[in-house]
Amino acid sequence: MIVKAPEDTPASPAELLRAFLDAGVPEGAVSLVYGDPAEISEYLIAHPVVRKISFTGSTPVGKHLASLAGAQMKPVTMELGGHAPVIVCADADLDVAAERLSAAKFRNAGQVCIAPTRFLLEKSIAPAFVEKFQARMNSLKIGRGVDDGVTMGPLVNPRRVKALEGLVEDARAKGGKIWQAETPLPNEGCFFPPTLVLDPNLSMRVMQEEPFGPLAIVSEFTDLADAVKEANRLPYGLAAYAYTRNERTQRLLGEAVEAGMVAINHHGIGVPEVPFGGMKDSGYGTEGGPEALRAHTILKLVSSQHVKADF
């Protein structure tokens, strides 16, 4: 196995490989390379020793790598971008929903491909949910992850800060209401305040682009069919969430929402026992469960007819 390390977080995969060695994985079984992404990917994908490609990253890069692999007739697993919707129905436990959704939204400062970003709230409970969610946002302590008590760290680089600032300013200019948590930010570092975009409209960039940061968009609905339509509007289909006590609604949303992973009343989808992957522009293949093992094997038929020995 050859791991191409990301430029922004080079130490993380190095420590992972160190853990492999400590666990007894033979030296040389897993290699780690650093360098120019385009040069490395073009060389490795075309190399005859490489038989399978697995990529986690943005949709544009994933499509490019898949095309390189296709030219070599090599199988790929693609876990790409998302813009995860979450539907909160009027019968949901709002305290549980606010607690779990805030934890999922601001984990790793929102820099998680399956983080909920498009909050679709049934109109009758929207004000109550937003109030509870804002209280959770205000309780976050932002700082370096190694410091005691910190519950949300920085963004990966200054480019992400500028990208989020651009999304917020675009939303504000197009009529959105911006609410940001009162929790103080450190004076130095790539930090961004937990942010809500209220009263959004489809002209806003944030309604089309994955924010990949501590930013959530809050919309309201009165008809569940409209919520499902909005959840499925974008070409992404990685993860989706819903909160409802009604079992019929749970089954309906599980079938109707177009995502490779749909979690209802919880967020336990990123575990090794279950398939992890998306659909549409969020990729294909899986990185979890027994299905992941099949994705790294080649099916081969060997058929032999018995012939009586002539002796």
pLDDT given at position 306: 87
Q: Which of 209, 138, 114, 129 is nearest to 168 (CA)?
A: 209
Q: Which residue's entry shows tokens 């876990």?
A: 79
Q: What is the identity of the amino acid at 43?
A: Y
Instruction: Tell me, letter by letter, the H, E, C secondary structure of 91-120.
Output: CCCHHHHHHHHHHHHHHHHHCCCCCEEEEE
pLDDT given at position 311: 66
Architecture of the CATH domain 84-264? 3-Layer(aba) Sandwich (3.40)
Q: Which residue's entry shows tokens 């993380």?
A: 12
Instruction: Tell me, letter by letter, the H, E, C secondary structure of the chain.
Output: CEEECCCCCCHHHHHHHHHHHHCCCCCCCCEEECCCHHHHHHHHHHCCCCCCEEEECCHHHHHHHHHHHHHCCCCEEEECCCCEEEEECCCCCHHHHHHHHHHHHHHHHHCCCCCEEEEEEEHHHHHHHHHHHHHHHHCCCECCCCCCCCCECCCCCHHHHHHHHHHHHHHHHCCCEEEECCCCCCCCCCCCCCEEEECCCCCCHHHCCCCCCCEEEEEEECCHHHHHHHHCCCCEECEEEEECCCHHHHHHHHHHCCCCEEEECCCCCCCCCCCCCCEECCEECCCCHHHHHHHCCCCCCCCCCCCCCCC
Of the candidates 15, 42, 79, 247, the residue annotated as catalytic is 79
Contact 277, 285 (CB under 8 A): yes
Q: Which of 39, 41, 21, 40 is nearest to 30 (CA)?
A: 21
Domain boundaries, the chain: 2-80+276-293, 84-264
2-80+276-293: which CATH number, 3.40.605.10, 1.20.140.10, 3.40.1670.10, 1.10.150.20?
Answer: 3.40.605.10
pLDDT given at position 211: 97
Pairing relation of β-strands 177-180 and 236-237?
Answer: unpaired
Contact 140, 175 (CB under 8 A): no
Domains 2-80+276-293 and 84-264 share a fold: no
* Token digits of residue 229: 């339509």
Low-confidence stretches of the chain (pLDDT < 50) are none
Of the candidates 42, 89, 99, 113, the residue annotated as catalytic is 113
- 79 belongs to the catalytic site: yes
Contact 140, 185 (CB under 8 A): no
pLDDT given at position 277: 95
d(CA 278, CA 286): 8
d(CA 92, CA 127): 14
pLDDT given at position 295: 87
d(CA 263, CA 51): 33
Q: Which residue's entry shows tokens 């959840």?
A: 231
- 113 belongs to the catalytic site: yes
pTM: 0.93
Q: Which of 256, 261, 257 is nearest to 271 (CA)?
A: 261
pLDDT given at position 309: 79
